[in-house]
Amino acid sequence: MSNFLGSHAINMDAKGRLAIPAKVREELAQACGGRIVLTANADEERCLLLYPEPEWEILRPKIEALPNMNKAARRLQRLILGNAAPMELDGAGRILVPPTLRSYAHLEKKLMLIGQGKKLELWSEERWLAWLDESTDDDDMPPEMEALSL
């Protein structure tokens, strides 16, 4: 099982192509043979999520099975399923980000790719830096988090 760590600055070209860093590429190659799913993030941060296909196939049925007479569940389904784009790395190790996802996450030229264990996050560099500067809410932590000792 893959375990993505660290952050990488990368550039997207005019066609919306972006080169996955070589180290990440290696991990993706063995996790999923380069077959990935790119989708929108559901919370208020407008970034994208990049899953190796096997990991996505664990998550997808859980989301599809949510009771969709509920408003919050419908929202999650529309965002995650409704933006999911399966794709493969091209010969040069690049992916093409679909226009709808590009505009959802406000991606321009300069991006950040952030390792998050089983998945990666893709941010516009500007938004990533702004997010880093945001103040943290310490209230409303789940109990598992309060018990941590870093």
Partner DNA sequence: TAAAAAAACCACTAAAAACCACTTTTTCCC
Partner DNA sequence: GGGAAAAAGTGGTTTTTAGTGGTTTTTTTA
- Residue 56 CB partners (closer than 8 Å, separation 6+): 36, 37, 84, 86
Backbone dihedral angles phi then psi of residue 108, each to the nearest 5 degrees: -120, -135
Residue 10 interacting with a copy of itself (CB under 8 A): no
Residue 63 CB burial class (10 angstroms; 0-12, 13-18, ≥19): middle
Residue 23 phi, psi dihedral angles, 5° rounding: -65, -40
State the minimum distance, in angstroms, from the CB of residue 39 to a copy of itself: 8
- Distance of closest approach, residue 3 Cβ to a copy of itself, in angstroms: 8
Q: Report the nearest approach of a copy of itself to the CB of residue 84 (Å).
A: 4
Cα-to-chain-centroid distance, residue 137? 23
Q: Counting contacts by CB under 7 A, is residue 35 touching DNA? A: no
Note the residues at the interface with DNA (CB under 7 A): 10-11, 13-14, 19-22, 25, 90-94, 96, 99
Note the residues at the interface with a copy of itself (CB under 8 A): 5-9, 41-44, 49, 59, 62-67, 69-86, 98-100, 104, 112, 114-119, 121, 131-132, 136-142, 144-145, 148, 150
